[in-house]
Structure 1
Amino acid sequence: MEAALATVYGSTAIAVGIILAAAGLGSALGWGLICSKFLEGIARQPEMRPQLMGQMLFTGGLMEAFPMIVLGMSMWFIFANPFAAQVMDAIKVAGG
């Protein structure tokens, strides 16, 4: 019983680590693309800098929201693990 729960919690922790790493990497790549396109736009039309700055910051804010949403979902998996409840129910059914 304890081994099954330990396996579920361990697997969940590994999956959450991979998910958070992917979200961080995706956000970093997104910021890099946003900033590079911002600089390209300024190089083409320097007079558009204020408008491009606003668009860059707005899009960057959306980009930063993604890892925070993923962090919230990951914390749900860590602290209120739905898989552990399923394992406990299966153990109760199998045990009697």
Structure 2
Amino acid sequence: MTDASLVALSCAFIIGLGAIGACIGIAIMGGKYLEASARQPEIMEPLQTKMFLLAGLIDAAFLIGVGVAMLFAFANPFLG
């Protein structure tokens, strides 16, 4: 395998594993939000605000991984 194919494979792993992690994290957080709001409906609004804030941070971490993968795909400093 050439260096370029290894870079493409590593970019795919970065994006794929980041997407899987973000999806699992948001799913767990959404499930816990539903459990908490079912137990105490009066605190649903503050929890919803915090849940959306955390969902944005989880997505931001995934998008940073996509940015790093695109950096290595298009402007790789390791390829000669």
TM-score by length of 2: 0.95
Identify the structure with the greater helix proportion.
1
Letter in 1 for 2:7: T
1 or 2 for the larger relative contact order (CA 8 Å, sep ≥6)? Answer: 2
Letter in 1 for 2:45: P
Which aligned pairs between 1:1-96 and structure 2 lie closer than 5 A? 7-85=2-80
Runs of 4+ in 1 over 4 A off after TM superposition: none
Distance in 1 of aligned mates of 2:39 and 2:54: 20
SS in 2 for 1:82: coil
Distance in 2 of aligned mates of 1:63 and 1:81: 26
Larger Rg: 1
Q: CA RMSD in A?
A: 1.0
